[in-house]
Chain A
Amino acid sequence: MTQMLNPEERRAALSKVVGDVDVALGLPNEAYLEADYFAEEKKKVFGASWAGVGFAKDLPEALWVQPIDFLGEPLILVRDRQDQVRVFYNVCRHRGMKLVEEPGKMNVIRCPYHSWSYDHGGALKITPHAGGPGNNICGRLEKDVTGLIEVRSHVFMGVIFVNLDGQAPAFKEANAKLLERWSEFADQPLTHTGEDSGFKLSLDTNWKLAVENYCESYHLPWVHPSLNSYSRLEDHYHIMQNDEPQASGAASQVTSQVTSQVTSQVTSQAFSGQGTLVYSPMLAEDGRRFPAFDALDAKWDKQAEYVALYPNVLLGVHKDHSFAIVIEPKGPNQSVEHIEIFYAKPEVAGADWQAMRAKNTAMWKLVFEEDVFVVEGMQKGRSASGFDGGVFAPAMDAPTHLFHRWAASKMLAE
């Protein structure tokens, strides 16, 4: 049975989501099931924001080019001659041929059709025979004008972000609050140690359910009993950063056990999640611990934070490693989580840390796999046509509601 709403019904349903947490409903079923809604999200939710599309570590050296498909858009991720990450549409300016099929280092980006060739800054090097055989000058073409179409991009915490519609404020401006919160981590070099520090999970679920589940600590005692043995529910606090000018009713949930840290500023990029006060770094068999990032405040000895940077990037920081998850939305009920772990110091890439790295990756893999049945289970539940989007437990679900409200308000925007 289709759960599609007409425009009026949709507006009414979304208006209930943007209310305060104690009266709000969750997003309607169509937001998880319908291709139409998904297509509109592409423009209003992803296109208008800074969305994660990949990892800088997948461009291992200058002149590397990686083709990707993001929400049906062919893009190339490029590391240019100056080592800067750039993103372009993967399409030739001539007749629209897709340029690159396979990743690799290439000296020039040559279109396989008529061999127009671009450098890694997108500029045309030559348009062979465009002015007739042996003549490479064509009146219509300006080498520097008819170059590849660049998409705004920015690298943060190892993730390549893009703003498809080109209208969002600059990344650093849009994310000023998170950059400030994590200023101690933001500019530190990250070490990625290769295949033993990443994995993928293909999920039969809508991308939003993966975000929602990440926002909350409420499920920890039930879904992650092993984590809860050292990181109990009462040691967690909420993190909420609105993108609206004024704090709302969701702004100060304080219970005896869970304290919320809430700030509210105008930013175009909202985030929410949780922190823990009792992070205890892993110990190797011989008693070593991973080396920590430089010059961290003492609070990070025990604290760690987990933030969903809307729309689709999930981040975690600890004093000795960080991780990033890019959720690739494949369709209304299909997503892939790309998970990569980064270390504070290059020496962790060495062989003597191999066992410890494997242990850390296995630990996170277990945690994220434990979440699979819930994000897929919520997807299944959404086929119940009588379900109204669900209610929020204000003390526990405020970060989750913040995401619903953000997603709903993007869809309500003209």
Chain B
Amino acid sequence: MAPVMSDAVLFRALENGDHKTAAQLYMQAAEQAGDSDAAAFYATHAYVHALQAGDTAVEQRSGGLLRRMGRLR
């Protein structure tokens, strides 16, 4: 599995409880990930942060990706 992004922007977003930014960054990471395990890992985090942000667009994108992979009911 790919290492977790060491992205300063992401950590700042997490620290500040900026779930919308965190969701978007994780979603980007998921879509750019090289293998499906990494993609699912990031999409999971994108989904949780999207729920918290109330960001339905990212919620649907990450949720859709996970469901297609059989990793979310």
Contact = CB atoms under 8 A, between A and B. Distances in A.
Nearest to B54: A107
Contacts of A136: 44, 47, 66, 71-73
A287 interface: no
A129 interface: yes
Q: Which 9 A-B pairs have the closest CB atoms?
A: A134-B40, A107-B54, A134-B41, A108-B51, A136-B72, A135-B71, A128-B44, A115-B48, A134-B37
Contacts of A131: 71
Given A128-B44, A136-B72, A137-B71, A107 B52 contact: yes
B1 interface: yes
25 contacts: A106-B52, A107-B51, A107-B52, A108-B51, A110-B51, A115-B48, A125-B51, A126-B72, A128-B45, A128-B47, A128-B48, A129-B44, A134-B1, A134-B38, A134-B40, A134-B41, A134-B71, A135-B40, A135-B71, A136-B66, A136-B71, A136-B72, A136-B73, A137-B72, A137-B73
A137 B70 contact: yes
Nearest to A129: B44
Interface in A112-133: 115, 117, 125-126, 128-129, 131, 133
Given A107-B52, A117-B52, 5 more contacts: A115-B48, A128-B44, A133-B1, A134-B39, A137-B70
Nearest to B72: A136
B3 to A, nearest CB: 13
Interface of A: 106-108, 110, 115, 117, 125-126, 128-129, 131, 133-137, 143
B9 to A, nearest CB: 21
Contact of A108 (B43, B52, B73): B52
B53 interface: yes
Interface in B23-71: 37-41, 43-45, 47-48, 51-54, 66, 70-71
Contacts of B71: 131, 134-137
Nearest to A125: B51
Q: Dominant SS at the B interface?
A: helix
Nearest to A118: B51
Contacts, number: 53
Contacts of B38: 134
Contacts of A117: 48, 51-52
A334 to B, nearest CB: 35
A108 B63 CA distance: 15
Interface string B5-20: 0000000000000000
Nearest to B51: A108
Contacts of B44: 126, 128-129, 134, 136
A249 B43 CA distance: 70
B44 to A, nearest CB: 5
A106 B53 CA distance: 9
A115 B23 CA distance: 14
Contact of A133 (B41, B54, B66, B73): B41
Contacts of A135: 40, 71
Nearest to B66: A136
Contacts of A134: 1, 37-41, 43-44, 71
A93 to B, nearest CB: 16
Given A128-B45, A134-B37, A135-B40, A110 B52 contact: yes
B30 to A, nearest CB: 10
Nearest to A106: B52
Nearest to A136: B72
A413 B38 CA distance: 59
Contacts of A115: 48
Contacts of B45: 128
A36 B25 CA distance: 55
A129 B48 CA distance: 11
A126 B71 CA distance: 10
Contacts of A126: 44, 47-48, 51, 72
B14 to A, nearest CB: 12
B1 to A, nearest CB: 7
A105 to B, nearest CB: 10
B45 to A, nearest CB: 7
